[in-house]
Structure 1
């Protein structure tokens, strides 16, 4: 089965677990899936094998710690060392898909704001390509770092009896606020370098739609 089918089967089979076993396994599953560079196919296959083994043990009255031990993180680390890395093509597709999706949304939102705003006041359509490129790179870098930062917080919260959701939410909120502040500051303080071009609202919508289509197509490519 392909990775997507394995994930669907995993979601279905997990409903058979007791609450305690489900928590143990879910943390274990997330820990494995958050390893960016592991082979998705191999990871999902081993996760399903572990789930099937856990369900069988549960039917015999055993708990997840009885079967896999009291240190699921150490057990997961042992498995990770044995799993192969994802191929470079899939990794490039993943990060490129994130970037294209991000800029697709930004362009569509920008076009929508100009379209709606133009009914209330005159909108300055001038865009400085050099400045826009610098801000775009900053947004991309912040977004990719944000994905890593959020995944790191999730990873850190796994395998704990009590999870500090409020504390984690504050960290994410502060990170988002600081990042947004830096992007706004860059837009305000960076000089307008080079010639300007006027871009109408429909151009943003068209470009955003095209990037969205390309991003969707990347997901359909074989890995």
Structure 2
């Protein structure tokens, strides 16, 4: 990797990859993009992954000009190749503070804004037509969901990795399994802890204000202060 590329941001490298990838023929592009998805969804520092993907793409483009295929370059088992690469790069810890802070704050401001939206618009309609009571506060289980957010992201990445290098039927199966498990886990949580999680007695307009404030802080921190920090 040349010095110019090393000075690029992760977003710049991804954009460059998108541009160069168009030079691949259909067969090589399909092979390479499966590896791209697998590596990007792996627990490896994002910058290392993007640098490696560009290197792999450069090698493949050279090979293509020489009349060779991606299979000639990377072998018959791309999944095993990717697993070896991940071991070489080193796995990232599950608790990576910038990532945890990003996910936690995102889930939290979404939670407050969603709470305000539902209590100001949806629940009044349900109450009017069906007699559904309007909640009197903010459910504190949003804090738990925010804290568990990194685990959910890790699970999503795991399912996406499992769907690569598979046929269309297997891909659809893996993609359907994730929402089923997510919804099932949420419903189970609600069933077990529905009376144990406290309700914060704040009005809907305050949820809206808190959500907007958290969104502003989140944007300031991760678009400004931590702009050049790798989150994933």
In 2, the alpha carbon distance for the partners of 1:88 and 1:187 equals 26
In 1, the alpha carbon distance for the partners of 2:159 and 2:213 equals 33
Aligned equivalent of 2:98: 93
In 1, the alpha carbon distance for the partners of 2:134 and 2:74 equals 62
Equivalent residue in structure 2 for 1:154, among 157, 160, 169: 160
Structure 1: runs of 5 or more not aligned: none
Structure 2 residue 34 is matched with structure 1 residue 23? no
| Higher mean C-alpha displacement, 138-147 vs 167-176 | 138-147
Equivalent residue in structure 2 for 1:6, among 7, 13, 22: 13
Over 3 Å counting, the alpha-carbon distance change for 1:126 and 1:151 in structure 2 is closer
Root mean square deviation of aligned Cα: 2.8
Structure 1 residue 126: Cα displacement: 4.4
Aligned equivalent of 1:164: 170
Matches within 5 A, 1:57-96: 57-83=63-89, 91-96=96-101
Q: Check conservation: 1:31, 1:76, Cα contact below 8 A.
A: yes
Which consecutive aligned stretches of 4+ in structure 1 deviate over 6 angstroms post-superposition? none
Structure 1 residue 87: Cα displacement: 9.0
In 2, the alpha carbon distance for the partners of 1:44 and 1:81 equals 16
Structure 2: runs of 5 or more not aligned: 1-7
Over 3 Å counting, the alpha-carbon distance change for 1:112 and 1:160 in structure 2 is closer
Q: Name the TM-score, length of structure 1 as normaliser.
A: 0.81
Structure 1 residue 165: Cα displacement: 3.1
SS in 1 for 2:22: helix
Q: Check conservation: 1:142, 1:179, Cα contact below 8 A.
A: no
Structure 1 residue 183: Cα displacement: 3.5
1:92-113: per-residue Cα shift (whole Å, max 9, x none)?
1112211211121111111112
Aligned equivalent of 2:218: 215
In 1, the alpha carbon distance for the partners of 2:11 and 2:33 equals 17
Q: Check conservation: 1:14, 1:51, Cα contact below 8 A.
A: yes
Instruction: Name the count of aligned residue pairs.
Output: 213
Q: Name the TM-score, length of structure 2 as normaliser.
A: 0.78
In 1, the alpha carbon distance for the partners of 2:151 and 2:21 equals 31
Structure 1 residue 169: Cα displacement: 3.5
1:175-204: per-residue Cα shift (whole Å, max 9, x none)?
123122123324533275xxx763122211
Q: Check conservation: 2:48, 2:89, Cα contact below 8 A.
A: yes
In 1, the alpha carbon distance for the partners of 2:102 and 2:14 equals 20
